[in-house]
Structure 1
Amino acid sequence: MAVQPYRGVFPVAPTIFDQHGALDLDGQKRAIDFMIDAGSDGICILANFSEQFVLTDQERTIVQQTVLDHVAGRVPVIVTTTHFSTEICAQRSRAAQDAGAAMVMIMPPYHGATIRIDETGIGQFFQRVSDAIDIPIMIQDAPVSGTALSADFLARLARQVEHVSYFKIETPQAAAKLRKLIELGGDAIVGPWDGEEAITLMADLDAGATGAMTGGAYPDGIRGIVNAYRDGDQEKAAEVYQQWLPLINYENRQCGLAACKTLMQAGGIIRSDAVRHPLAPMHPATRDGLLKIARRLDPLVLRWGK
């Protein structure tokens, strides 16, 4: 486990494709450089917002090695290693550690609406993954899994499974869950984190969140909120949050994972904002709306590549 807890802004890096849908590794490196320059305290790769579900195993390995080599220790990198199979998730997690990952992020095992794993199975899953590695595990608690993870159960995992110590809470009423998790888990909860593009960031910070995992397009904006709050100036944090909230809301409610690449392309950071089929390109009117809101804020993403 890390000597110092990981805190601050750890946005999800998009996976960059060219206009034909192939990996664009030069674009990937530029995206990472921008995110670091924009003030990211760390970066997460191969997450759902990275379109990890459209990548082959070989492509995952290529992206992982490319990013970790290119970052070269400038910031810590979290690698998402989610898989239904305990053994495959453990193998992915060990490979991420060996490649230089600071932490792995994992969702509970799930597959469709009818195959559900109970708490005993989930506990065994995380225990076996933990046994395979020596770095922290962040449990991603997100509605997409359809798997209910109570605060009590998560706190028990933190106390009983050595490397389980970080939690990205994205469920409804996230602040209430974070508050209860911290209360029940105590010192075993090293990193209670906010997620879901910062749509609940202020409430989650009030509840005790110490990290924020958002989209990758405007770490400069998110950092302004988190830093002010961490410095004890809650009024300034709220003021900055209100400035960025229209963009946060538009990304979360209108655009989803495509927003980051669209903003990066508009700013000259990457050449193509392509997403892989069956994901659809962003509607031109939605794109115009996103850029209109972003330009009011003059974020670094629209200036960095020009």
Structure 2
Amino acid sequence: MTTSAEGPRYKGVFPVAPTIFDARGELDLQGQCRAIDFMIDAGSNGICILANFSEQFSLTDAERDAVAETVLKHVADRVPVIVTTSHFSPRICAERSARAEALGAAMVMVMPPYHGATFRVGEPGIYDFFRTVSDAISIPIMIQDAPVAGTPLSPEFLARMAKEIEQVSYFKIETAMAAAKLRRLIELGGTAIEGPWDGEEAITLMPDLDAGATGAMTGGGYPDGIRQILDPYVAGDREAAMQAYERWLPLINYENRQCGLLACKALMKEGGVIACEDARAPLAPLHPATRAGLIELASRLDAMVLKWGK
């Protein structure tokens, strides 16, 4: 898969949508649609669903299908949607990916196979895993290189898969020293690396952009803020991008280090986007003081999420 003369097909801010539950812990699909509408109104260039920040690990297969079907129908091609299809089994991951494509997904995001603290697969198995998924679909695969998988993925190995496996062409790099890894991946992979992307709530966004990142997959609470960083950078105004990064970094850091996936839901509840901010058990709610700190930082920045639903 190579980049066209016009550049990568997908670039910009593609935040992860939370999965919305009601107070009983059941899917709230109406709230899900409101969350998606907010994220589009806030400037998302695209959206990712069913990722780790979507609590994909808490969903049944039927719930996954319900979320994917609802979101893709509701988005109605307003923006491209990435569907996370990670699974330990290549067969199941391939089936999930083919189903996502049939529903209208623009791309699938997949972690390397892992389970628990000790089940890992070596490079030959990982290569065959992604080849199996690629053979089942005709849309791009984004490899999510995240610490949660506990699986080392060298730039050399990632570049090799990009060159040899047809649909492997996007990479979300969330490991330590992400910028150095992105730079090396681009150097080794050339045009086979269609989408070198930043992740981890954009906490390393500026160095990652400097390294060549063309996309950012963040939390879903403030796409408008991430656009304030990325847009001037792409336009060639690095100084304006750096100033925006300095403004938004305290909130980005607070989400990354204090709140995790609960930040987006708390912000959406505070702004009237959704009715319930609860994660699914056994995840505990934010401490009230932690939540108050989050809202204070977002208020200082006049984040759209705090007024969208009011």
TM-score, length basis structure 1 = 0.99
**SS in structure 2 of the partner of residue 101 of structure 1:** coil
Aligned residue identity for 1:162: E
Equivalent runs, 1:102-121 vs 2, <5 Å: 102-121=106-125
Q: For residues 259-296 of structure 1, what are the alpha-carbon distances to aligned partners after superposition, in whole Å with 9 as ceiling and x for unaligned?
A: 00000000000000010111111111100110111110
Structure 2's unaligned 5+ residue stretches are none
Of residues 136, 147, 150, the one that matches 1:146 is 150
Of residues 238, 248, 252, the one that matches 1:234 is 238
Question: What is the Cα deviation at residue 108 of structure 1?
Answer: 0.2
Moved over 6 A (4+): none
Query: Would you say 1:88 and 2:73 are equivalent positions?
Result: no
TM-score, length basis structure 2 = 0.98
Identity of aligned residues (%): 72
Q: Name the structure 2 match of 1:37.
A: 41
Question: What is the Cα deviation at residue 33 of structure 1?
Answer: 0.2
Of residues 181, 187, 197, the one that matches 1:177 is 181
Aligned residue identity for 2:130: F
Query: Would you say 1:268 and 2:272 are equivalent positions?
Result: yes
Query: Would you say 1:243 and 2:235 are equivalent positions?
Result: no
CA distance in 2, matches of 1:115, 1:204: 30
CA distance in 2, matches of 1:116, 1:206: 32
Question: What is the Cα deviation at residue 116 of structure 1?
Answer: 1.4
Q: Name the structure 2 match of 1:133.
A: 137
Q: Name the structure 2 match of 1:12.
A: 16
Question: What is the Cα deviation at residue 114 of structure 1?
Answer: 2.2
Query: Would you say 1:122 and 2:109 are equivalent positions?
Result: no
CA distance in 2, matches of 1:116, 1:171: 17
Of residues 277, 297, 301, the one that matches 2:301 is 297
Question: What is the Cα deviation at residue 112 of structure 1?
Answer: 2.0
Of residues 29, 36, 41, the one that matches 1:25 is 29
Query: Would you say 1:166 and 2:158 are equivalent positions?
Result: no
Equivalent runs, 1:190-201 vs 2, <5 Å: 190-201=194-205
Q: Name the structure 2 match of 1:157.
A: 161
Q: For residues 71-119 of structure 1, what are the alpha-carbon distances to aligned partners after superposition, in whole Å with 9 as ceiling and x for unaligned?
A: 0000000000000001000000000000000000000000123221010
CA distance in 1, matches of 2:101, 2:108: 8
**SS in structure 2 of the partner of residue 138 of structure 1:** strand
Aligned residue identity for 2:22: D
Of residues 77, 83, 86, the one that matches 2:81 is 77
**SS in structure 2 of the partner of residue 264 of structure 1:** helix
Question: What is the Cα deviation at residue 20 of structure 1?
Answer: 1.1
CA distance in 2, matches of 1:41, 1:114: 37
RMSD (CA atoms)? 0.9
CA distance in 2, matches of 1:201, 1:5: 20
Q: Name the structure 2 match of 1:259.
A: 263
